[in-house]
Amino acid sequence: MFTAEKAGMMRKVDFMDNISFCRITSETDEKIFDILSELDKSCVGADGWTAESFKSESAKDNGIVICCYVGAFVIGLISGYFASDEADITSVAVNFNYRRRGIAGHLIAEFENQLPEYISEIFLEVRESNFPAVSLYKKCGFENLHTRRNFYDNPVENAIVMRKELKKSNNK
């Protein structure tokens, strides 16, 4: 069975007992990528990432994939990458039973902590109708930048492009 301990470095946080975060790498047990894909698709539908997509992202030098665990159970994920002086969050997903407990906000903070110090801003896209996510991102310091028309499929929907400027004092 795949466990967080087998995945590599973990860090406990104090907001809830038995919660830990782990950065997924290409050396991580292969089973985790199927688990990530299932979680992502349970949150965003069939357009969620495949196991191969998560595996590919985690293998890149500039890719970041982080899981959140309760014990050995994956309850959340965030993925993205950085290039030049900016980063892009490509997916955030939290198991339905663990939502509204601050986990997504902590995943975003973990993502920021993994970025090189020269990164000055983070971008993401979110469905226009996903009001809880838009609210969360604003709470985490993101602002609306512009709208991408018909960005999503199933159903066709606009994306709000959001940006967070990182302060030099907040960078590693």
Within 10 angstroms of residue 153's Cβ, the number of other Cβ atoms is 10
Q: Could you give the CA distance from residue 69 to residue 19 in angstroms, rounded to a whole number? A: 6
Retrieve residue 131's tokens.
């009001």
Task: Map out the domains of the chain as residue ranges.
Answer: 4-170
Its pTM surpasses 0.95: no
pLDDT band at 17 (very low <50, low <70, confident <90, very high): low
Sign of dihedral through CA atoms 154, 49, 65, 6? positive
Q: Alpha-carbon distance 120 to 64, whole Å?
A: 16
By the 8 A CB rule, do 171 and 118 touch?
Answer: yes
CATH topology for 4-170 is Aminopeptidase (3.40.630)
Distances (CA, A) of 92 to 68, 148, 160: 11, 19, 15
**Contacts (Cβ under 8 Å, ≥6 apart) of 130:** none
Q: Determine which of 2-6, 41-45, 80-84, 157-161 has the lowest per-residue pLDDT on average.
A: 2-6
The pLDDT score that the predictor gives to residue 5 is 45
